[in-house]
Amino acid sequence: MNRTARSGTEPRTPARGAPVHHHHTPTPGTRTARSAAALLLAAAAALTGCERGSSSDSGDSPATADGCPAVRARAEDAVGGAERTDVPWNGPTTGPRAVAGRTLVFVAQTMTNPGVAGAADGVREAARVIGWNVRVIDGGGTPAGIQAAMSEALALRPSGIVIGGFDPNSTSQQVARANAADIPLVGWHAVASPGPSRQPPLFTNVTTRVEAVARISAQWVIADSDGNAGVVVFTDASIPFAKHKSELIRKELATCRGVRLLSYENIPIPDASSRTPREVSSLLSRFQDRWTHSVAINDLYFADAAPAFRAAGRKGSGPPFNIGAGDGDPSAFQRINSRQYQAATVPEPLSLQGWQIVDEFNRAFSGSPASGYVAPVHITTADNSEGATTWNPSGYQEAYRKIWGR
C-alpha cells in the first residue's frame, strides 16, 4: 500500500514484468507495532466471540496470530497489480461511424449518488463530441420518483434511454413501453453483469465486473491488515446490484480466518446522509478498537461517516481504514489524497463509462452488436493517485473519436 500516513506498510513487489513505479517512501519501523496491535485485536475478538451483526461465515473462526498466510499472499499480489497506474486502453478500436441527430435521456436513480452523477457527466461530454443532445432526469432515489422519471423520459420520445443506477425491473411497465416503441435501453450499473441483457431487456449494461470489484476491495483489507482485521461492511440492500456486491465482499472476507465481520450495515443511499453518522457513532461505541477496517459499496458512506469519526476523536488517517468498492467520485479522491477517513477506493472509470454508453447507443442505432468492453478494476490510494480526482484508462477519448470520425 505504501501509504506514508500508514507508516510500516511494506512496499509490494511489482507484478512480474510490470514497470517499477516510484511512490512516496514510507516511514520504516512500525510494521512490528502494527502486527503487535493486530495480535491484540485478534485476541480481544477471540475472547468476545460473535458480536451482534457479525457474519456467521466469519464468526465461527476466531482471528489468529497467523491470520491467513496463503490467502494474504494471493491478496497482496492481486492488490499490487490493481494499484498499477500504467493501464493502456484495451477497449474497442473499431465500430460504426457517428449517427447524426440523436437525443438521449439519462434517467438517474439519484443525482446525489456521485457515481450516477459522474456517469451522467461522462455521457454529456461524449454527446457533445458525437453531436447529440442529452437530458438528465433525476429519479430522486425513490421507486415512485424513478418510475415518474422513466415515464417523463418516454414522453420525450428520445432516441435512447440510459437506466442510470437502478433496477429496470422496478420500472417494468416503462421498460416494456420503451421496447414496444423500439427505444434502445443502455444500463449503467442496472444489472449485476456487464453486457447485453435479455431479461430485463437492455442493449447492454455498462459496469465493471462486480465480482472483480468486490474481490479486490476485500483483498485490500486482507492485505492491508496482514490478515487480521475487524470489518464493517456498508451496503444498500434495496439496490440488487449493491446487495450482490456486498454479499460478494462478505464472502471474500470470509476466506481469511483472521478477518472478522463485525457488522453488516444496510443503509439506503438516499438515507445515507442522515443515518450513517448515527450508525457510525453506535459502531464506534460497540466495537471501539476492534473496528480496524471498513468496506462500503459506495464511497459516499465515508463522506457521511467523517463527522462521526471526527467527533469521536479518530484521526483522519485511521483506523478504521476505509475502502470504497465504488464509485471513485472526486470527493472520494480528495478524502484519500488528504488522508481524511478514507484510505482507498476501487473507482469506476466514470468518464470513460459515459463515453462507452454513447458508443453503445451508436452501435445500437447502427444495427451493430454491443462492444463487449468491460473496464479493468483499479485501486486508488494516496500513493498512486498523483493528486488526481478521477481515474480512467488512458486513450479512451482518442479511441472513441477515431471510431466515430469525430
From the list 294, 285, 235, 283, the residue with the least C-alpha distance to 259 is 294
pLDDT at 36: 40
pLDDT at 329: 85
Beta carbons of 333 and 389 less than 8 angstroms apart:
yes
Q: Around 270, how many Cα atoms within 13 Å sit in the side-chain half-sphere? A: 16
Environment class of 101 (CB within 10 Å of its CB; exposed 0-12, middle 13-18, buried 19+): exposed
**What is the per-residue pLDDT for 132?**
98
**Contact (CB, 8 A) for 231 and 397:** no
- Specify whether the CB–CB gap between 159 and 104 falls below 8 A: yes
How far apart CA 291 and CA 283 sit, in angstroms, is 8
Buried b (16+ CB within 10 A) or exposed e, 343-353: bbbbbbbbbbb
Q: Using a cut of 0.85, tell me whether the model's pTM lies above it.
A: no
Which is nearest to 362 in space by CA: 107, 201, 160?
160
**Residue 66: its pLDDT value, please?**
65
In 225-365, which ranges are continuous DSSP H helix?
240-253, 272-287, 300-311, 330-337, 350-365
Residue 125, all three cell numbers: 461530454
Measure the CA–CA gap between 369 and 382, rounded to whole angstroms: 39
Give residue 312's Cα distance to chain centre. Answer: 27
Pairing of strands 133-138, 344-345: unpaired
Q: Are 225 and 38 in contact (CB under 8 A)?
A: yes
Q: What is the dihedral of CA 144, 146, 149, 153, to 10 degrees?
A: -130
Q: How far apart are the first and last CA of the chain?
A: 40
Query: Across the 406 residues of the chain, what is the mean pLDDT of every consecutive 10-residue run?
Result: 37 35 34 39 37 35 65 97 89 97 97 90 98 98 96 98 95 96 96 93 95 97 97 92 92 97 95 96 97 95 96 95 91 96 96 97 98 96 93 94 98
Report the relative pairing of strands 321-324 and 293-296 from DSSP bridges: parallel
At 206, list the grid cell. Answer: 455498462
Say if residue 327 is exposed, middle or buried (CB neighbours under 10 Å; 0-12, 13-18, 19+): buried
| Sign of torsion over alpha carbons 123, 127, 128, 134 | negative
3-state secondary structure of 221: helix
pLDDT confidence of residue 65:
55
